[in-house]
């Protein structure tokens, strides 16, 4: 676990807005040096200016976390400037919705690139350097936090591509925890699973995509996602603070809405009893009826 933050270095992907920006703000309040990463140049520039004006030391890098070479270059630049980072938030991600068979190959590539490969590249590029720092200093401590989602633990309909990407992040992070346990006690891991937290992820769109060509299921999914996210009672700032407290306590699973775990328990019981998957919308029959009616079910 990482208990002392002051003077340590934090890498935050998706730092230009939403949860990433709040994680960066929380890190700055704790006296950490910041490495801010985002694909949106203007949002990243605004975030970096804000944090520097507040007194934080911050480097900013505009890049796509799905780009393997760019992520390797990022890791090299960070180590050259400040050494191996102590805290890595593989947080960048995008959202999408719609019936599975309606997703294009480009949409699959975009979502998996940001949500899964961005995390994979963060692990691949930073963990070896963190392990090297740990091997040189028995007192050195580090921590990796990967952002998944409650959609990585359950499977709501009309969100299949997103669900698949986040389930993969859950598996990756649990395996990372076990793999690190084989070789080091100095680097911890956490899996962050937000539920509906107001951020900008609902407004993310694949570059070059034309919203006018969206299918009915995609439009309905977007409307439902917008409504659910904006009605969230836990803010991104609150979740960022909760995340830092969880890291300091060495917690692996971090939830924004622990009450949502009832659906996870039901899914696990489905698996163990080899029964048909329980409808995740069973407790919201009006939503299930509306979707089925409008989509022709």
Residue with tokens 């990967």: 146
For 119-135, b/e burial (b = at least 16 CB within 10 A) is bbbbbebbbebbbebbe
255 is known as an active-site residue: no
Strands 33-38 and 142-147: unpaired
DSSP three-state, residue 100: helix
Does residue 147 come out as left (phi exceeding 0), alpha (psi in the -120 to 50 range) or beta? beta
Q: Catalytic residue among 89, 162, 196, 255, which?
A: 162
What is the Cα–Cα distance from 268 to 21, expressed in whole angstroms? 33
Tell me 55's DSSP state.
Answer: T
- Catalytic residue set: 162
């Amino acid at each position: 676990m990482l208990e002392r933050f002051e003077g340590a270095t934090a890498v935050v992907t998706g730092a230009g807005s939403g949860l990433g920006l709040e994680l960066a703000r929380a890190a700055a309040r704790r006296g950490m040096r910041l490495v801010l990463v985002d694909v949106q140049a203007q949002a990243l520039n605004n975030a970096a200016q804000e944090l520097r004006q507040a007194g934080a030391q911050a480097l900013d890098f505009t890049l796509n976390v799905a780009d393997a070479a760019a992520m390797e270059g990022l890791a090299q630049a960070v180590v050259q400037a400040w050494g191996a980072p102590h805290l890595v938030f593989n947080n960048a991600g995008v959202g999408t919705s719609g019936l599975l068979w309606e997703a294009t190959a480009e949409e699959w590539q975009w979502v998996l690139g940001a949500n899964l490969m961005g995390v994979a590249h963060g692990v691949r590029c930073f963990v070896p350097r963190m392990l090297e720092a740990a091997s040189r200093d028995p007192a050195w401590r580090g921590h990796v936090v990967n952002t998944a989602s409650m959609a990585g633990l359950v499977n709501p309909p009309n969100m299949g591509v997103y669900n698949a990407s986040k389930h993969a992040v859950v598996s990756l992070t649990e395996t990372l925890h076990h793999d690190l346990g084989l070789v080091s006690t100095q680097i911890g891991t956490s899996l962050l699973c937000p539920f509906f937290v107001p951020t900008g992820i609902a407004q993310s769109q694949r570059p070059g995509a034309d919203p006018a060509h969206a299918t009915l299921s995609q439009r309905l999914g977007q409307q439902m996602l917008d409504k659910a996210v904006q009605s969230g009672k836990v803010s991104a700032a609150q979740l960022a603070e909760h995340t830092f407290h969880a890291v300091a306590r060495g917690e692996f699973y971090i939830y924004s809405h622990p009450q949502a775990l009832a659906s996870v328990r039901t899914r696990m019981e489905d698996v163990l009893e080899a029964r048909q998957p329980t409808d995740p919308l069973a407790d919201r029959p009006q939503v299930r009826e509306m979707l089925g009616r409008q989509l022709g079910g």
